[in-house]
């Protein structure tokens, strides 16, 4: 699996938008970009995924650069419940079912 690079930690104020960056300069044409998050004392949960176009769902938006070498997870209005470790993961559609996690970004929300 191609690697991703994320900042170790970020802080954001409550009720403000959060932009979580991810670099994946060696992404291949068959890699999807997945985001998961892990709240304290819980297992990871799926947030969003995409291939080329920007994606929106009820949890977040995913903005993908035109060259696909980077992406940004956008939380439109952060709440205290969004404090978690956010993982950006590449998943090769031609590979097996492997889902490999890195160290992620620890997001702290300031009340």
Partner 1 sequence: ETGVTQTPRHLVMGMTNKKSLKCEQHLGHNAMYWYKQSAKKPLELMFVYSLEERVENNSVPSRFSPECPNSSHLFLHLHTLQPEDSALYLCASSQDSKNTEAFFGQGTRLTVV
Residue 13 or residue 54: which is nearer to partner 1 going by CB? Answer: 54
Q: How many CB atoms lie within 10 A of CB 75?
A: 21
Q: What gap in Å lies between CA 102 and CA 97, rounded to an integer?
A: 16
**Total number of residues that touch partner 1 (CB under 8 A):** 23
Closest approach, Cβ 64 to partner 1, in A, equals 14
Stretch that binds partner 1, among 4-12, 20-28, 65-73, 101-109 (CB under 8 A): 101-109
Q: What gap in Å lies between CA 84 and CA 46, rounded to an integer?
A: 12
Q: How many CB atoms lie within 10 A of CB 83?
A: 18
Which among 99, 90, 44 has a CA at the least distance from the CA of 70? 90
Q: What gap in Å lies between CA 1 and CA 106, rounded to an integer?
A: 22
Q: Does 106 bind partner 1 (CB under 8 A)?
A: no
Restricting to residues 5-34, which ones interact with partner 1 according to CB under 8 A? Answer: 32, 34
Q: Does 45 bind partner 1 (CB under 8 A)?
A: yes
Q: Does 68 bind partner 1 (CB under 8 A)?
A: no
Residues that bind partner 1 (CB under 8 A): 32, 34, 36, 42-46, 49, 91-104
């Amino acid at each position: 699996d191609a690697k991703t690079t994320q900042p170790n930690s970020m802080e954001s104020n409550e009720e403000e938008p959060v932009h979580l960056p991810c670099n994946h300069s060696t992404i291949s044409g068959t890699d999807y970009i997945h985001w998961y998050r892990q709240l304290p004392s819980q297992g990871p949960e799926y947030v969003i995924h995409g291939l080329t176009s920007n994606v929106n769902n009820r949890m977040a938006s995913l903005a993908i650069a035109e060259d696909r070498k980077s992406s940004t997870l956008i939380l439109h209005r952060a709440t205290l419940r969004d404090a978690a470790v956010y993982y950006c993961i590449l998943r090769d559609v031609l590979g097996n079912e492997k889902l490999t996690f890195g160290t992620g970004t620890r997001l702290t929300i300031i009340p």
